Amino acid sequence: MSESDKKISGRAWVYGDNVDTDVIIPARYLSTSDPGLLAPHCMEDIDSSFASSAQPGDVMVAGANFGCGSSREHAPISIKASGVSCVVASSFARIFYRNAINIGLPILECADMSSPGAVAAGDVLEVDIAEGVIKNITNGRVFTASPAPEFLRELFDSGGLVPYVRRRLEMAR
């Protein structure tokens, strides 16, 4: 089963537009890239309860331009290490998008999820990554994400960039 075949279920953590990488993981913690050391500080400047309360499987839901700002891969690493299984946003900043794919954090682009009443903090969501379908179990609504470009799906399904490069280097030898 490839990464994107997984079905996910968890509670929603809901944020607004333009969630930047400085609030996802503040630079004062960038003296390390150890996921276990980054996770306790994830989102702390805008949500002090997140890091201590997030459970494995939880889903982060946000508005436009999620992950804007710096190129720090520590941002998706800290989200993934917090237990978050998937980020759903109406749009992603481009560097965060690449970084999330590279470290194997599933992300879905879905504009409808940020419409009023679509999801509230703590709602239980079920996400089918492969189909791009997000079910809000709490309110019964169903949303469909925009499909990721084929090239990126393949990259993600093959395990990400590291195995891809390893294969290329082995072929060249």
Partner 1 sequence: MPVPGDNANSAPTARLAPAGSRDRMTMAEAIIASHTLDPVIPGAVCQVRVDFAFANDITAPPAIEEFKKMGAARVFDPERCAIIPDHFTPNKDIASAQQAKRAREFARVQGIKYWEVGRVGVEHAFIPETGNALPGEIIIGADSHTCTYGALGALGTGMGQTDLAAIWALGETWLRVPETLRVMLRGTPSRWIGGKDLIIHLIGMIGVEGARYMSLEFHGDAIAFLSQDDRFTMSNMAIEAGAKCGIFVPDDTTISYADARHARDFTPVYPDEGATYARTVEIDVSSVEPTVALPHLPGNSKKARDCASIEIDQVFIGSCTNGRVRDIEIAANMLAGRSVHDRVRLMVIPASYEVYNEALDRGWIRIFTEAGASVCTPSCGPCMGGHLGILAAGERAVSTSNRNFVGRMGHKSSEIILASPAVAAASAILGRVADPREILGDDCPPLEEGVPNE
Residue ranges binding partner 1 (CB under 8 A): 18, 20, 22-23, 26-28, 30-33, 44-46, 64-65, 68-74, 91, 93-95, 98-99, 102-103, 149, 151, 160-162, 164-166, 168-170
If the CB atoms of residues 37 and 124 are measured against partner 1, the closer one turns out to be 37
If the CB atoms of residues 92 and 143 are measured against partner 1, the closer one turns out to be 92
Write down the least CB distance from residue 148 to partner 1, Å.
12
If the CB atoms of residues 77 and 125 are measured against partner 1, the closer one turns out to be 77
Tokens linked to 129:
């990554």
If the CB atoms of residues 33 and 139 are measured against partner 1, the closer one turns out to be 33
Report how far residue 66's alpha carbon sits from residue 59's, in angstroms, rounded to the nearest whole number: 14
Report how far residue 84's alpha carbon sits from residue 93's, in angstroms, rounded to the nearest whole number: 19
Write down the least CB distance from residue 142 to partner 1, Å.
26
Write down the least CB distance from residue 46 to partner 1, Å.
6
Residues 6+ apart with CB under 8 A from 63: 15, 16, 17, 18, 19, 89, 90, 114
Strand-pairing partners, residue 152, are: none
Q: Find how far residue 28's CA is from the centre of its chain.
A: 22
Write down the least CB distance from residue 55 to partner 1, Å.
24
Write down the least CB distance from residue 20 to partner 1, Å.
5
Three-state secondary structure string covering 3-14: HHHCEEEEEEEE
Report how far residue 91's alpha carbon sits from residue 158's, in angstroms, rounded to the nearest whole number: 24
If the CB atoms of residues 82 and 91 are measured against partner 1, the closer one turns out to be 91
